[in-house]
Structure 1
Amino acid sequence: MTENTDVIVVGGGYAGVMAANRLTRRGGVKVTLINPRPAFVERIRLHQLVTGSDDALVDYQEVLAGGVGLVVDTVTRIDAAGRRVTLASGGSLDSDYLIYAVGSGSAVPTVPGAAEYAYLIATLEEAQRLQPVLDAAPASAALTVVGAGPTGLETASELAEQGRKVTLVCGEVLGPYLHPRARRSVARRLAKLGVTVLEGPGATVTAVTPDAVELADGRELPGAVTIWTAGFGVPDLAARSGLSTDDLGRLLTDETLTSVDDARVIATGDSAAPSDLPVRMSCQSAMQLGPQAAETVLSRIAGKQPKNFSVGFFGECISLGRRAGVVQLARKNDAVTRAYYEGGRSMATLKEAVCWSTVWQLKQEARRPGQLDLWFKDRQRQKVLRAKAGKAPADAGRPS
């Protein structure tokens, strides 16, 4: 009888679930997914959880393949050499391969007072902590949202649509990813909702107090609740475990998503930094990177050379309340174009379809692993890497 190959997937977000499901395409592979929560979190819906329009949770039984074992716990250390992970509960698990998919969360704010008085929103627990605070705040209370990326835009819009008084503090620019044409469209929608938008050099937060936000130009914005959406960070598990990481803490890998330290450790999603040139942190990239990390493991099990990963982007879809939205189109290499679409119900419906289809893809991968690939890949990455290195990169693969 052939022995099982044990694979542990650390992290049950978009990339982790896709990786775990893809691994089940090969017999003889025992897959264990370790996640601190008993349900899958739709991170792209957390702004809806905060405003009460969705709980942002899906039962793992709906999105995980039947052959995947779920352990609800937190990994506190990875012993790569010993092929073992230590759990917060006090136990440990052994494996032949490990997929590192711990994802990302809120960056720890360094602005004085922000960590103490501002509410973060990048994780389930943060959003759940904020929701009752908003519910308890008077309907007329002034709310301040700091950060004008997708999360900030969607949160500010949802709150304003409910009749809340919202100020959006952008820092330098509103929607930094967006083309100026799409940016103007978003600004018009925010104005229609009554959101006060502050941007430019002076609109940088310098301090947060219990009832106000102070800006670089000396202005003080009184507010009952400050919501902080500026910046993402990653868990420090890899660094604490002695694995090589980039400056942000993402696990350094080659182009096959294999750790530069150990051929049996593979990273995926927001916590991976292939060739120290990571792709944009997003659900889009995680849904593609997850299966490719699994394919690297399956290739090594089969004694084959893993393929280099490839991710392609379509742009960004942003809801602006429940009744409007904007789609910013991009090239497959994530460079934005002039093309965008704005609209009312149609764009809101499209964004809802994007959220729905993401969970649908997880379910399809669980039922038919390896049969679905809806993404167009970026073929320009290798050129970028050669330009970065000043020469053609060496073979990234290593034998297991």
Structure 2
Amino acid sequence: MNILILGAGYAGLAATTNLAGRLRRRDDVRITLVNAEERFTERLRLHMTAAGRATAELSIPELLKDSRVRFVRGRVTGLADGVASVDGEPLPYDKLVFALGSAVEAPDHTYTLNSWTEARALPQRLTGPVVVCGSGLTGVEAAAEIAEAHPGVPVTLIGREAPGASMSVKARAHLTAALTRLGVRVLSGVTVDKVLPDSVVLDDGTPVPSDYTLWTAGVQASPLAARAGFTVDDHGRIVTDESLRSVSHPDVYAVGDAAHIRQRYGVMHGTCQGGMPTGVHAAMSIARELDGKRPKRFRFGYFHMPVSLGRGDAVVQFTRPDDSPRRAYLSGRAAVRYKETVTASPWPTFRRMLRMPRSASFWTHGGRYTR
């Protein structure tokens, strides 16, 4: 049995380490993980990288060195029934976990946070105005981090919605006050018409000076699945059944940002919070199939919305399972400690899953996943 996992982000590594732990005594199973880089990208810290902050170098081969997982560094260039092409090399599979994630489709003259390398490309010494396009949580974190790390550099945050629009009134007020304190200019209710080398032009024709434009809006999944004939949604995500199997290719599990996963409250949106449980569920399901059992239904509820506001401040909005805000929230130093605990937790969790007993189940209780 050849199990192939494409992508080593949060969801892909969760699937890999969970499978490796569960199946480490199965001599008839071979697990292969494919990723473009040996470094694990902590997407939750990419706003820090963009601002010039140092982050840990986490090696995927080092993590897997004592396991039986084969790691292949390369880019997936093609996918057909039972075979994936990685830089021209065919890799056959019996079960596939598709975890290639998503990326921002950015116009010319912009920087992105699609990877550590791209985030690192933003100059470490900023000498002119910065514009962050996209007022979602990624854009907010990036704008706050850059403004704090580069005092005196004008930072503008542009978006269709006000920052923190999905938060409660009090949590949103703290976020807004933090951006004001850091000197971030916020332009909400507007869209970008075009990006030029020295400015961003709004939809009403207004130019906003920008020497460095960071684009965080408009996420799209890898086009590989659509090219291979999978049933996908408008964002290129593989449409799954209730157990995370592709509705068109039942030997393929889709996880994380690459998957269109419907729950009772709607379609899940891509986060580490939801991505890792999908990887764990795919691993559990494959293990069940190897035992001749049917995969179980995947159920997930959101729990929180942690947002960094520089190194010394943060806000954590606690949520209902459908991601709507509760009244409870944290702010200031308590939120910083909470956010850092969440951000740092995946790597030691991967290590624990490699050593776990076969019967263990992470983040599960009665079939429901939480973080």
**TM-score, normalised via structure 1 length:** 0.85
Is 1:361 the equivalent of 2:329? no
Q: 1:17 aligns with which of 9, 13, 19?
A: 13
2:164 match: secondary structure: coil
In 1: Cα distance, 2:217 partner to 2:327 partner: 25
Match of 1:122 in 2: 114
1:116 match: secondary structure: coil
Q: 1:181 aligns with which of 161, 170, 177?
A: 170
**Count, aligned residues:** 359
Q: Return the letter of the residue paired with 2:284.
A: E
| Residue ranges of structure 2 left out of the alignment (5+ in a row) | none
In 2: Cα distance, 1:361 partner to 1:231 partner: 30
Q: Return the letter of the residue paired with 1:242.
A: G
CA drift of 1:338 comes to 2.6
Q: Return the letter of the residue paired with 1:158.
A: E
In 1: Cα distance, 2:191 partner to 2:241 partner: 37
Cα-to-partner distance string for 1:52-107 (whole Å, 9 max, x where unaligned): 22336411145436121100011111112xx111122x21111111111111111x
Contact map agreement 2:96 2:253 (CA 8 A) in 1: yes
Match of 2:311 in 1: 322
Cα-to-partner distance string for 1:310-331 (whole Å, 9 max, x where unaligned): 2221121011000000001101
Q: Return the letter of the residue paired with 2:353.
A: E
Match of 2:94 in 1: 96
Is 1:253 the equivalent of 2:252? no
Distance 1:376 1:330, change over 3 A: farther
Q: 1:283 aligns with which of 259, 264, 272?
A: 272
Q: Return the letter of the residue paired with 2:102.
A: S
Q: Return the letter of the residue paired with 1:8.
A: L
1:299 match: secondary structure: helix
In 2: Cα distance, 1:354 partner to 1:258 partner: 28
CA drift of 1:253 comes to 1.4
In 2: Cα distance, 1:272 partner to 1:297 partner: 17
1:32 match: secondary structure: strand
In 2: Cα distance, 1:369 partner to 1:35 partner: 26
CA drift of 1:217 comes to 3.5
Q: Return the letter of the residue paired with 1:7.
A: I
In 2: Cα distance, 1:29 partner to 1:16 partner: 18
The 5 A counterparts of 1:1-400 are: 5-24=1-20, 25-26=22-23, 27=26, 28-55=28-55, 57-64=57-64, 66-80=67-81, 83-88=82-87, 90-106=88-104, 108-109=105-106, 115-130=107-122, 133=123, 135-138=124-127, 141-162=128-149, 163=151, 164-200=153-189, 203-275=190-262, 278-343=267-332, 345-368=333-356, 371=360, 373-374=362-363
1:118 match: secondary structure: coil
Q: Return the letter of the residue paired with 1:347.
A: A
In 1: Cα distance, 2:201 partner to 2:83 partner: 47
Contact map agreement 1:270 1:282 (CA 8 A) in 2: yes
Distance 1:59 1:287, change over 3 A: same
- % identical aligned pairs: 36
Distance 1:375 1:180, change over 3 A: farther
Cα-to-partner distance string for 1:356-389 (whole Å, 9 max, x where unaligned): 1122212211222663524678969xxxxxxxxx
CA drift of 1:157 comes to 0.7
In 2: Cα distance, 1:333 partner to 1:232 partner: 21
In 1: Cα distance, 2:349 partner to 2:214 partner: 31
In 2: Cα distance, 1:247 partner to 1:218 partner: 29
In 1: Cα distance, 2:11 partner to 2:131 partner: 32
1:39 match: secondary structure: coil
Distance 1:375 1:154, change over 3 A: farther
2:108 match: secondary structure: helix
Q: Which deviates the most, 291-300 or 214-223?
A: 214-223
Superposed CA RMSD: 2.1
Distance 1:38 1:61, change over 3 A: closer
Match of 1:395 in 2: none
In 2: Cα distance, 1:337 partner to 1:378 partner: 23
CA drift of 1:152 comes to 0.8
In 2: Cα distance, 1:256 partner to 1:54 partner: 39
Cα-to-partner distance string for 1:5-47 (whole Å, 9 max, x where unaligned): 1100011111111111121212232110011111211111111
Q: Which deviates the most, 321-330 or 63-72?
A: 63-72
In 2: Cα distance, 1:265 partner to 1:374 partner: 22
In 1: Cα distance, 2:308 partner to 2:11 partner: 23
In 2: Cα distance, 1:338 partner to 1:347 partner: 15
In 1: Cα distance, 2:136 partner to 2:56 partner: 19
2:166 match: secondary structure: coil
| Residue ranges of structure 1 left out of the alignment (5+ in a row) | 110-114, 381-400
**TM-score, normalised via structure 2 length:** 0.91
Cα-to-partner distance string for 1:150-188 (whole Å, 9 max, x where unaligned): 211111111111213211112232223322332111000
In 1: Cα distance, 2:367 partner to 2:289 partner: 24
Cα-to-partner distance string for 1:168-221 (whole Å, 9 max, x where unaligned): 112232223322332111000111111111113xx2212211111122344221
Contact map agreement 1:145 1:168 (CA 8 A) in 2: yes
In 2: Cα distance, 1:369 partner to 1:160 partner: 46
